[in-house]
Each structure stands twice: as C-alpha cells, then as structure tokens.
Amino acid sequence: MPIGNRCFQARSTLRGLRLSMTGLALTASAWLLLTALTVERTAAMDMPGPADLEQALSAPPQTIEVVEPHLSTADSDTVVAYRGWPAVKVLDHLLGSDWNKPGVDVEFRALDGYVSRIPAERFSEYPAYLVFESPGRSGFTVNNPRQNEKDVPLGPYYLVWDNVRHPGLLADGATNWPYQVSEVLVSDTGWRALLPGDMAGRYDEDAGLARKYCLTCHRINGYGGDKFPIDLAHRVKDMTATEFERWVLTPNAVKPGATMPPLAHRIPEPKREVMAKRLYAYLRAFPAQKQ
Ligand code: HEC
C-alpha cells in the first residue's frame, strides 16, 4: 500500500477521535447529529490494483475516450484515451450490489485529501469509468492549468465520465472527476450537516452548490474534503461579498499561482456570478459552530 494511503487512514482515525471527544461535551441534539454522522457510513474499501480488479471482474480493461476537462477550455476540447472498467461494475464488486440507492452518495477518497461525493443516481444517468492508465501517453498524469499544477499523478485510479456521448457533462468541468482515488465508500450523511436548524428547505439548492463545487476540498460543519481543510462557513465570516466573489470567480487574479480552481469556469459568466452570490449568502447564514 502506498505511503500516502496509510497517512490518509491515520488522518481519518484522528478525525474520528476528535469527533467522539467533542461529542461528550455537546448537547444531546448535537450529539445525535454527530452519531448519525459517524455511524451511518459503510467501511471504506481500498481500491484493489488493476491486476486484482481484472481477475475479480473477469473482464479485461476497456479503452474509453473522453474530453479531458483539465486540459480543455470552452474554446478547445482535448480528447484523451484512458483504460479501465465501468465504475458501476467496480462499485458493485467493492460495495455490494445494493449501493445504488436514492439519497446516497458514493465517496471517492484520494491520496491528496480530496474527497468527492457523488450522488449514486448519477451513475445510472451517465456512464463513468475508473481508469488506471492512459495508452499512448508517457505517464498517467495530467496538467491542471487552472490549479497551476503540472504533471499531477492520476493513479491509482481516476474517475472519468463519457462526456463524448454525453456532451451536457462538459459544463461541469472537472467537478466529479476525482483522481488519485484510493478508497471508496457509501455515505448518506451529507445533507444533515449542511442544513442545520431551520436552514433545510430554504437553502437546499445553495448547499447543493457548495457540495458540488467546494466541499471536495473544503469543509462545512465537519462535512467535506481535506485538500485545503478550512471551514468555509467560519472563513467567510470575515470576508465581504466582494472579496468572496472575486476570490471564488478568479482565484488566480487575487493570488497569482493559487491552486484553487475558479468556480465552474465553463458556465456563462452571469450565471457564475449568481452562483457565487448564493454561496456567499448561504455561508453567511450558517449558524456559528463550535470549532
Ligand atoms: C480543488 C480544490 C478546491 C476547490 C474545489 C475549492 N477550493 Fe477554495 N481553496 C483551495 C486551496 C488549495 C486554497 C488555498 C489557497 C490557494 O489556492 O493557494 C483555497 C482557499 C479558499 C479560501 C480562503 C482564501 C483565503 O485567503 O484564506 C476560500 C474562502 C475558499 N477557498 C472558498 C472556496 C469556495 C467557496 C469554493 C467553491 C466555490 C472552493 N473554495 C473550491 C482549494 C479548493
């Protein structure tokens, strides 16, 4: 097992400990929430190596061509071939055949702390593949110009979507394309943490935006990824709307070399601005949390 993976497991264990210690000191309702957060998840499954997977699935890897979202812009698409297996087959094998239920997320955990939670239903709507190599190219890496990163390793696995046959997926850019995937699990805990108190019903869509575009790298109320693990609701308390929008829409202009990607860069500008405003309103409305 690669070293990074081991570090990641140690980190999750630490976080679990921290959760249960704070739980002791919290009120009964908050404690119930935390319990719900910790128990309603299945165990994380390590992604097996390609040779083991090929044997378990009794199927050779297939080649799939996709518009590589990290290398493409609204004006020019770069098509790249990858080899791997349909994600549904891999998930059936690792998670058992009943993982695909409404309201459930599939969580893809990456070696770099990135956590991608994708609604299970999406895998019935669009074909996805877990790939492990790129035939005809020298390495299994990609440049990520919008995050100012070069030759980023994609392995052990990279989740790609068939956006050639489903061009509607192009608008999402690299959202839902986690790379360095080393573990998968099923979790149905998201919405409770993102819509506490009376936020449910009023901010559902905004929480959905945060979940899709921000919480792969950041957190809100304990939910999210560890790539840059700040709590966004906490962080925006001292940001003005203008500062926030500028940062989210053009991080590179605020901080040259920033490794945060601009929000949904393939979506038309006026719509992106509305999204940034809604995210700000939602984060500001978030009740203060015990840190
Ligand atoms: C792919 C990972 C990633 C995603 C997705 C992401 N960020 Fe970030 N974010 C970062 C990193 C890395 C930094 C640290 C700054 C940098 O780029 O060097 C950061 C920094 C920030 C900061 C702090 C800026 C500061 O000066 O302290 C805020 C606020 C923020 N992000 C908000 C968001 C919001 C809101 C979203 C969703 C629209 C989002 N981020 C999506 C990676 C990400």
Pair of tokens at residue 119: 């609604």
- Same domain? 148 vs 261: no
Q: Is residue 16 part of a domain?
A: yes
Give residue 97's pLDDT band: very low, low, confident or very high (50, 70, 90).
confident
Instruction: Give me the pLDDT at residue 27, please.
Output: 44
79 sits in which H/E element: strand 79-86
- Same domain? 64 vs 159: yes
- DSSP category for residue 262: P
- Same domain? 121 vs 214: no
Q: Is residue 149 part of a domain?
A: yes
- Same domain? 142 vs 19: no
Closest CA to 144 of 216, 75, 211, 72: 72
Residue 178 near ligand 1, beta carbon < 6 Å: no
Q: Which residue has the higher pLDDT, 216 or 235?
A: 235
Average pLDDT, the chain: 85
- Same domain? 161 vs 182: yes
d(CA 51, CA 192): 39
Residue 175 near ligand 1, beta carbon < 6 Å: no
Nearest CA to ligand 1 atom 11: 260
Instruction: Give me the pLDDT at residue 155, please.
Output: 96
- Same domain? 157 vs 171: yes
- Same domain? 51 vs 180: yes
Range of 22's domain?
A: 1-34
pLDDT tens digit sequence for 240-259: 999 999 999 999 999 999 99
- Same domain? 168 vs 278: no
Residue that is last in its domain, among 141, 165, 187: 187
Q: Is residue 231 part of a domain?
A: yes
CB atoms within 10 A of CB 276: 21
pLDDT tens digit sequence for 4-18: 333 333 333 334 334
pLDDT tens digit sequence for 102-120: 778 899 999 988 888 898 9
* Mean pLDDT, rounded, for 122-142: 93
d(CA 46, CA 108): 10
Q: Which residue has the higher pLDDT, 21 or 145?
A: 145
pTM: 0.68
d(CA 45, CA 106): 11
For tokens 């790129």, name the residue.
Answer: 134
- Same domain? 156 vs 170: yes
Residue that is last in its domain, among 187, 213, 245: 187
Considering just the CA atoms, what is the radius of gyration of the chain in Å? 19
Residue 261 near ligand 1, beta carbon < 6 Å: yes
40 neighbors 189 (Cβ within 8 angstroms) = yes
Residue 252 near ligand 1, beta carbon < 6 Å: no
Q: Is residue 105 part of a domain?
A: yes
- Same domain? 64 vs 178: yes
Residue 218 near ligand 1, beta carbon < 6 Å: yes
Instruction: Give me the pLDDT at residue 31, please.
Output: 43
Nearest CA to ligand 1 atom 10: 260
Q: Is residue 148 part of a domain?
A: yes
d(CA 117, CA 148): 24
Nearest CA to ligand 1 atom 24: 247
pLDDT tens digit sequence for 150-193: 999 999 999 999 999 999 999 888 889 999 999 999 987 666 78
Domain count, the chain: 3
Instruction: Give me the pLDDT at residue 254, please.
Output: 96
Residue 94's Cβ-side half-sphere holds a number of Cα atoms within 13 Å equal to: 27
d(CA 64, CA 161): 9
pLDDT tens digit sequence for 42-93: 688 999 999 999 999 999 999 999 999 999 888 889 999 999 999 999 999 9
Residue 169 near ligand 1, beta carbon < 6 Å: no
Give, for ligand 1, the residue of 115, 149, 212, 217 to mutate: max count of ligand atoms closer than 8 Å to Cβ. Answer: 217
- DSSP category for residue 231: B
Nearest CA to ligand 1 atom 37: 214
